[in-house]
A and B are shown apart, each in its own frame.
Chain A
Amino acid sequence: MKAFRGLDNISVVGGLGALAFLGFLPTLFPGKYLIGVLTVAAIYGIWSVSWDFMSGLTGRENFGHSLFIGVGAYTAGFLNVQFGWGPWWSLPASMVVAAFFGLILGFPTLRLRGPYFALAMLSAAVIMQRLMLIFWEFTGGEEGIQDITPLIKDPLHYYWLVLALLGAITWFLAWMARSRWGLILRAIRGDEATCLAAGLPITTYKIASLIISAAFAGLGGALYAHYQLQVSPQLFAVVTSITIITMVYVGGMGTIFGPVGGALLLTLMTEGLRNFGEWRLMVYSLLLIFILFFLPNGIVAPTWNKIRNLFSQERP
C-alpha cells in the first residue's frame, strides 16, 4: 500500500546500490572500452525509461521514439557546430526542442488507437529521417554533422555524468509513475471511456506524458551526440525505436526501472556479440519474438520483484 506514496525502502536501496555498482565498475576493470560500452548502455537506459513512462504506462506504444532522440541529437549538433554554442547548452536546448516536437505530434496522433498511433509515430520518424537527407546542405545529409565538442573530455567523468542523469531521470519518472499522474495514465490504458466519464482531462495527461517522454529522449540524444561526436540520420531509424522497445520488453513494460536493466543487459549482450556483429539484429528480433510469446512481463522487473519479496519476507 505504500506503492503509491513513494518508493519503499528496498527499492531505494536497490536502486542506489545498482547505481553505485555501475559507477565503480570501470574502476575495477579499467579500460576505455568498458567505459564506452557502459556510457552507451546508460544512454539507452535514459531512452528506454523515457519510452516506458509514456508508452509503458498508457499502453500506447510509440514506434517513433527515435524521432525525439534524433531531434535532440541534431539540436546538439546544430548548436555546437553550426552556431558555435558551448556544448553545455545542448542539454536544455535538446529537451526543449524535443518537447516541442512531442507537443505538435501529440495533438493530432494521441486520439488514435494503439496500432494506428504506433504507425503514425513511425511515419513521423521516417519523415524526419528523410527530411534530414533531403536538406543535406544544412544537415550534412547521409553523413550527418561531425566534430561535435565533447562535454567532458575525460570518458570516465562523462560516464559518471550520464549515469547520474540516468539515476535522476529514473527516480523522477518512477516517482511520477507512483503518483497520481501514473495512476491516471494507467487508468487510461485500462479504460479511456470511464476516465472521460469521470471527468478527467485525459488528453492533457496523454500529451503531457508524451512531452515528458520526448524531452528526456531528446536529452539522451544530446548526450549521445556529445559522446559519439557526430550525428547522422541513422538515429531516426526504425531500428533505434525497435531496439528501445525490445529493451523495455526485456526489462518489463510499465515498471520504469525494469527498462534500465533491460537496456544494460541488451547493450552488454550486443558488445558480447561484437564478433558476430551481423547477427546482432537477428538476435534482437528473435529475442523479441521469444519474449512476446513466453515472457510478456520481461525479465528484469519480475526478477527484481522476486528478490525484493525475498528480502521483505526476511524481516522479523
Chain B
Amino acid sequence: MLYSTNFRSLRRLATASALVGAFLGLISPQVLAQAANTKPIRIGVPTSVQLQVGRDTLTAIKMAVDDINKKGGVLGRKFEFVAADETENPETGISAIKKLTADEKVDLLIGGYTSGVTLAQLPHISAAKTIYLGVGAASPSITAKVKQDYDNYKYIFRVGPINAAHQARNLVDYISNFVIGELGYKNIAIVGENAKWVQDLVPVLAKGAKDVGADVKLTELFDTQTSDFSPLLAKVKSSGAQYMIVVLSHASSDVFAKQWHDAQVPVPYGGIDVKSMDGDFYSRIGGKSISEVAANFAVRAPLTKKTVPFFDEFKKNSANSPVYTAFFAYDSVYIYAEAVRRAGSFDTDKIIKELEKTKFEGVAGEISFDEMHDVQAGKGKLSLIFAQWQDKGERVVIYPKELRTGNFILPPWMKK
C-alpha cells in the first residue's frame, strides 16, 4: 500500500513536473523575449503609394531596414515596416494615420508628401503620441506647431525636404547668381500651383527675387487640377518675361511641359518641379521637357560619403533613380536608430530628446534640426541642386557652380 501511494504520488509529481517543465519550455522564449524585448520595431509609412515619391520612400526604407537588421537591429530589436496610402487627399491621409497607429500599432511613422495632408494628420498623430519623421512635405506650418504647442506636437520632425522658405531662398540664389548673373535675364515670371507649400513659398521668392535685382513681370498661381495651360503660357509670353520660374509638385507637370514645348514658348523655364525629379520624366513625355531646369536634392555625386553608394544601392533595388523622398526616408531610419541607441531605451520622450540632438551625415547632406524640429538648410547641410534636361534625357547639373557637370542649353527653338 505504501508502494502504490508512493507510486501514485510519484506519478503525480512526475506529471506535475512534466507539465511545469513543458509550460516553462513553452513560455521561456516569450519570457526571454520579453526580457530582451525582441518584438520588432514597427515603422508605419503613410505615403502616396501610387506615385514615384511613395514608391521610392518605401524602397529606401526597405534598404535601410534590411541593412540595420543584418547588423543585428537596434537594442536587440529588428525593424519591420507597413505602408498606408495617404494619396494626396487629407481624408484618406487621416484614415491612413488611424490605421497605422490604432490598428497596426506602429512605433514610429516615416513618410509624408502633400503638406495639406500632413497638416490634417497632425492632430491625430499627436493624439496617438507617435513619433513622426516627415520626408516629403515642405510647408513650414507643419513644424511651426512644435514651437506653438511643444507638449502635444513634440513628436513631429521634418527630416526633409528643407521647408518652403528655405527652398525659396535657394531659388533666389539660383535667380541671382545664375539666371541674372550668367544668363543675363532680369525679367522673370513666377508660376506655381495653388498648394499650401507654394502659397508659403511664393511670397518669400517674389520678394527675394526683387531684392536681388530681378523684375518680376508676372506672378500667378494656378489651380492644381488645371490641364490646359495655354492661357497661362500666353500670359507669360506677353508679359515680357525672359525666364519662367516654376513651383510645381502635384500639378500636371507632364502636361505643362508638353504644352510649353508644343507651343514653342520662347521663354525657358526652370525651378522646383517635383514630377521632373522622376528619372523617366523626360522619356515619358517624348523628350518635351528638354532644357527645363529642375531642382533636386541630390544627384549621383559625392555630396557626402554616402551619396554615391546610396544611388548605386538604390539602382539595385529599383528600376529608376531615386527621388527626394528616398534620401530622407533612408536617413530617417538611421537617425531614429541612432537616437534610440543614444537614449538606451524605447521610451518615446527619451528618444525625442535624443532626436533633437541629431547631427547625422545623410545622403544629401548633414541632417540636424532647429528648435522647431525642422531640418536645417545651408552649406554642407541640405540645399537644392539645379539640373537641366538635355539631349537623350541626360540630366546635367548647372548650379551651384561647384557641382556643375555641363553647360546650360536653350530650348531647341530658341537657338540662334
B partners with A: yes
Taking beta carbons and an 8 Å cutoff, which residues of A are in contact with B? 31-33, 36, 133-134, 136, 140-144, 146-147, 228-230, 232, 234-235, 274, 277-278
Q: Are A143 and B115 in contact (CB under 8 A)?
A: yes
Query: Is B119 part of the contact surface with A, judged by Cβ < 8 Å?
Result: yes
Tell me the smallest distance from the CB of A10 to a CB of chain B, in Å.
Answer: 37
Known: A31-B102, A33-B103, A143-B119. Contact between A228 and B194, CB under 8 A?
A: no
List of B residues within 8 angstroms of A232 by Cβ: 89-91, 116, 120
Bound form: Cα–Cα A142–B89 in Å: 9
Bound form: Cα–Cα A31–B199 in Å: 39
Chain B 221-233 interface mask (CB, 8 Å, partner A; 1/0) = 0011100000000
Taking beta carbons and an 8 Å cutoff, which residues of B are in contact with A? 85, 89-91, 94, 98-99, 101-103, 114-117, 119-120, 122-124, 194-196, 199, 223-225
List of B residues within 8 angstroms of A31 by Cβ: 102-103
Q: Are B116 and A144 in contact (CB under 8 A)?
A: yes
Tell me the smallest distance from the CB of B85 to a CB of chain A, in Å.
Answer: 6
19 A-B residue pairings within 8 Å (CB atoms): A32-B101, A33-B99, A36-B98, A133-B223, A136-B194, A141-B199, A142-B224, A143-B114, A143-B195, A144-B90, A144-B116, A146-B122, A147-B123, A228-B91, A229-B120, A229-B123, A230-B94, A230-B120, A232-B90
Q: Are B116 and A234 in contact (CB under 8 A)?
A: no
List of A residues within 8 angstroms of B103 by Cβ: 31, 33
Q: Are A142 and B99 in contact (CB under 8 A)?
A: no
Bound form: Cα–Cα A146–B116 in Å: 9
Q: Are A146 and B120 in contact (CB under 8 A)?
A: yes
List of A residues within 8 angstroms of B90 by Cβ: 143-144, 146, 228, 230, 232, 234
Q: Are B85 and A234 in contact (CB under 8 A)?
A: no
Tell me the smallest distance from the CB of B89 to a CB of chain A, in Å.
Answer: 6
Q: Are B120 and A142 in contact (CB under 8 A)?
A: no
List of B residues within 8 angstroms of A277 by Cβ: 85
Tell me the smallest distance from the CB of B73 to a CB of chain A, in Å.
Answer: 27
Closest Cβ neighbor of A143 among chain B residues: B116
Beyond A33-B99, A229-B124, 18 additional pairs, beta carbon < 8 A: A31-B102, A32-B98, A32-B102, A33-B98, A36-B102, A134-B223, A141-B195, A141-B196, A141-B199, A142-B194, A143-B90, A143-B119, A146-B119, A147-B119, A228-B90, A228-B94, A228-B120, A230-B119
List of B residues within 8 angstroms of A136 by Cβ: 194, 199
Closest Cβ neighbor of B104 among chain A residues: A33
10 smallest beta-carbon distances between A and B, as pairs: A143-B116, A33-B102, A32-B102, A230-B120, A33-B103, A232-B90, A229-B123, A146-B119, A143-B196, A234-B91
Tell me the smallest distance from the CB of A239 to a CB of chain B, in Å.
Answer: 10
Bound form: Cα–Cα A136–B98 in Å: 27
Tell me the smallest distance from the CB of B32 to a CB of chain A, in Å.
Answer: 28
CB < 8 Å: which of A133, A134, A234, A278 contacts B89? Answer: A234
Known: A228-B94, A230-B90. Contact between A143 and B102, CB under 8 A?
A: no
Q: Which of B91, B115, B124, B199 has the most CB of A within 10 A?
A: B91
Bound form: Cα–Cα A202–B124 in Å: 47
List of B residues within 8 angstroms of A235 by Cβ: 91
List of B residues within 8 angstroms of A133 by Cβ: 194, 223, 225
Closest Cβ neighbor of A227 among chain B residues: B94
List of A residues within 8 angstroms of B91 by Cβ: 228, 232, 234-235
Closest Cβ neighbor of B141 among chain A residues: A146
Bound form: Cα–Cα A277–B85 in Å: 8
List of A residues within 8 angstroms of B196 by Cβ: 141-143
Tell me the smallest distance from the CB of B198 to a CB of chain A, in Å.
Answer: 10
List of B residues within 8 angstroms of A32 by Cβ: 98, 101-102
Closest Cβ neighbor of A136 among chain B residues: B194
List of B residues within 8 angstroms of A144 by Cβ: 90, 116, 120
Closest Cβ neighbor of A31 among chain B residues: B102
List of A residues within 8 angstroms of B124 by Cβ: 229
Tell me the smallest distance from the CB of B127 to a CB of chain A, in Å.
Answer: 9
Tell me the smallest distance from the CB of A240 to a CB of chain B, in Å.
Answer: 10
Bound form: Cα–Cα A140–B139 in Å: 14
Closest Cβ neighbor of A230 among chain B residues: B120
List of A residues within 8 angstroms of B223 by Cβ: 133-134
Closest Cβ neighbor of B94 among chain A residues: A228
List of B residues within 8 angstroms of A134 by Cβ: 223
List of A residues within 8 angstroms of B122 by Cβ: 146-147
Tell me the smallest distance from the CB of B409 to a CB of chain A, in Å.
Answer: 35
Tell me the smallest distance from the CB of B239 to a CB of chain A, in Å.
Answer: 22
Bound form: Cα–Cα A235–B224 in Å: 18
Closest Cβ neighbor of A133 among chain B residues: B223
List of A residues within 8 angstroms of B120 by Cβ: 143-144, 146, 228-230, 232
Tell me the smallest distance from the CB of B50 to a CB of chain A, in Å.
Answer: 8
List of B residues within 8 angstroms of A141 by Cβ: 194-196, 199
CB < 8 Å: which of A36, A142, A147, A229 contacts B195? Answer: A142
List of A residues within 8 angstroms of B123 by Cβ: 146-147, 229-230
Tell me the smallest distance from the CB of B224 to a CB of chain A, in Å.
Answer: 6
Tell me the smallest distance from the CB of B414 to a CB of chain A, in Å.
Answer: 34
Bound form: Cα–Cα A147–B115 in Å: 14
Q: Are A142 and B102 in contact (CB under 8 A)?
A: no
Bound form: Cα–Cα A274–B86 in Å: 12
List of B residues within 8 angstroms of A228 by Cβ: 90-91, 94, 120
List of A residues within 8 angstroms of B94 by Cβ: 228-230
Closest Cβ neighbor of B101 among chain A residues: A32
Bound form: Cα–Cα A277–B94 in Å: 14
List of A residues within 8 angstroms of B195 by Cβ: 141-143
List of A residues within 8 angstroms of B89 by Cβ: 232, 234
Bound form: Cα–Cα A141–B90 in Å: 12
Bound form: Cα–Cα A300–B399 in Å: 65
Closest Cβ neighbor of A228 among chain B residues: B94
List of B residues within 8 angstroms of A140 by Cβ: 116
Tell me the smallest distance from the CB of B105 to a CB of chain A, in Å.
Answer: 9
